[in-house]
Amino acid sequence: MAQLLKPHGPIWLGLTERVESIRPYRTFGSLRRMIARSAYDQLDYSPLLLAGTMLGLGLTFLAPPLMTILASASHKSLAPRPGS
C-alpha cells in the first residue's frame, strides 16, 4: 500500500487541522478535571486498575534515580579505604 501512496507525496499521520474543541477550558483546573475524567474512564472506574497504574508510573519514574543513588552509595562503601 505504501508503494501506491508514495508517488502522491508525503503521508501525514497526524490529526486533522480542522478539529476545534467546543468545550471551553478557561482554567487549568477545568482542563485537569477533563483529563482525569478521561483517564479514569479508560480504567473502567476501577480503583484496583488505578492503583496498579500509579504503582507502574511510580516504578517507571522513581526506580532509575533511586537505583542510581543506591548503586553510587554501595559502590562507595565497597571501595577500598586508603591505607588498608
Burial label, 48 (beta-carbon count in 10 A; 0-12, 13-18, 19+)? exposed
Q: What DSSP assignment string belongs to 1-39?
A: -HHHHGGG-----S--TT---SS---SHHHHHHHHHHHH
Question: pLDDT at residue 78 above 70?
Answer: no
Average pLDDT, the chain: 84
- Give the pLDDT band of residue 17 (cuts 50, 70, 90): confident
Task: Say if pTM beats, i.e. exceeds, 0.85.
Answer: no
